[in-house]
Structure 1
């Protein structure tokens, strides 16, 4: 299945924006995975690309806006995010010429305005991947590159399986299948230079440490259909017991299945 239905599967974007806005001040302190994934993506941007303008799509706290500014010192940078709280935080720290509120599926940018569109761990929140790729094609100049990382099915599988054993409710954010990325990128009109997945595994001493990190990142469960109200003590105990079955010598694992893509608009 290449697309996720807009309703009932991915969270409302207003909830996403509000959650990440609230997490702006705590995000960087717990964003080890996010930095590692973004660093890897930045390394995959073609070495011969010399953009006049780059866009950091889903810029968050601006960590990679500042990295892009360092790498492409002669270029003009634009940081874009749907979360106003993140934009305010990023703007104070610089890195881009402009900071713009915008949705990846409907970018408030003119056609052919940039040579590099960079997006690390943001577009997994977009229900319509085809629209994101269409916008990338629209705003890129000929020969421009869209480099993105995202998440797919398999992410937080240990937590999902543990909750499934407890009550069967949706407690973990849903993600698109990798086959969806493959199909949509192939149909995008952009040349696929790279497209692959890798598993990155974090380890935590206990379940509380994992759930605290997800909340600090703003990436805790935002799914429609999630159970409301407080989680009872007995259910939490059952969840801890279920997750303990996954324990490794390093701790409790949390697997992130990361999609890496580098696409180029034909000249």
Structure 2
């Protein structure tokens, strides 16, 4: 996302408000993070950071997996506050910006981040910070959403009005270019679609609200969405209903592993 598209203060506030409901709605996020854990290279890291740690689910998973010091960092204060309350305790939590990490240079062996960096206006700066804080041979492993995510919802809204209702994400080609220019060695990079199924459109919209993944683009409508527009949206989304009776919502997920040159 470009800096003109996203306001990190609004992102932080939205996810903070959703902290208490996030875990109940995060099945897709858990699957994506689990899939990233499954492709991590064999390693014995001493210092690990979960960047965009949310309520700390993967922070604790990393703590259980490695005999290492593990820290959780997140932009949303509400998420960090909730994570601190969950057992088991890990080494530490902090409110932090991925573009300006409060970490010493060459201090980490693994920087793990799942479905967080798509909310950063400057992914190139995130990559530069990762390169700075990782030791030689260290890994940055992350997932992020790319263009094409929630295309069904975007197309349905386009049939209703001219406002921007669905978050925009970086084209995969732009992501590949940033990775190539990052100075980090690309060990793994693939884009995989995840198709979620719903009985009703309202299930998807409630889930997005519970996650805090609200629309934060310029051009979004102000105030509440009227009943007439919601009825029109529901009708427009029906064109995607599958033979099994479900409504799909597709996410395009980039899975990336980079390494600092030794």
Which TM bucket (shorter chain)? over 0.9
User: C-alpha distance in 2, partners of 1:250/1:84?
Assistant: 40
Structure 1 unaligned blocks of 5 or more: none
Q: Deviations over 1:183-223 (max 9, x none)?
A: 00111110000011000011111111110000000002122
Q: Distance in 2 between matches of 1:205 and 1:258?
A: 23
The alignment partner of 1:104 has SS state of coil
CA contact (8 A) 1:55 1:78 kept: yes
Per the alignment, residue 141 of structure 2 pairs with 147
User: In structure 1, what is the Cα distance between the partners aligned to 2:46 and 2:197?
Assistant: 40
Which residue of structure 1 aligns with residue 114 of structure 2? Answer: 120
Using the size of structure 1 for normalisation, the TM-score is: 0.95
Task: Please list the CA deviations of residues 235-261 of structure 1 after superposition, one character each: whole Å capped at 9, or x if unmatched.
Answer: 111111100000111511100000000
1:40 to 12, 35, 42: 35
**3-state SS, counterpart of residue 59 of structure 1:** coil
2:17 is aligned to: 22
> Is 1:266 equivalent to 2:251 in the alignment?
no
Give 3-state SS (helix, strand or coil) of 1:245's partner: helix
Aligned residues: 260
Deviation at 1:96, TM superposition (A): 2.5
Superposed CA offset, 1:44-103 (max 9, x none): 1102x110000000000000001001110x200111000000001111114530101110
Displacement, 1:136? 0.4
Q: Which runs of 4+ in 1 moved over 2 A?
A: none
Question: What is the aligned counterpart of 1:53 among 47, 57, 66?
Answer: 47
TM-score, normalised to structure 2's length? 0.97
Structure 1 counterpart of 2:126, from 125, 128, 132:
132
2:89 and 2:238 map into 1 onto residues whose CA distance is: 42
- In the aligned structure 1, how far is the partner of 2:239 from the partner of 2:172? 27
Q: How far off is 1:168 after superposition?
A: 2.0
Alignment gaps of 5+ in structure 2 = none
- Separation (CA, whole Å) in 1 of partners of 2:251 and 2:35: 14
The residue aligned with 1:215 is 209
Q: Cα offset for 1:233?
A: 1.7
Equivalent residue in structure 2 for 1:5, among 2, 5, 9? 2
Is 1:97 aligned to 2:91, yes or no?
A: yes
Give the superposed CA RMSD.
0.9
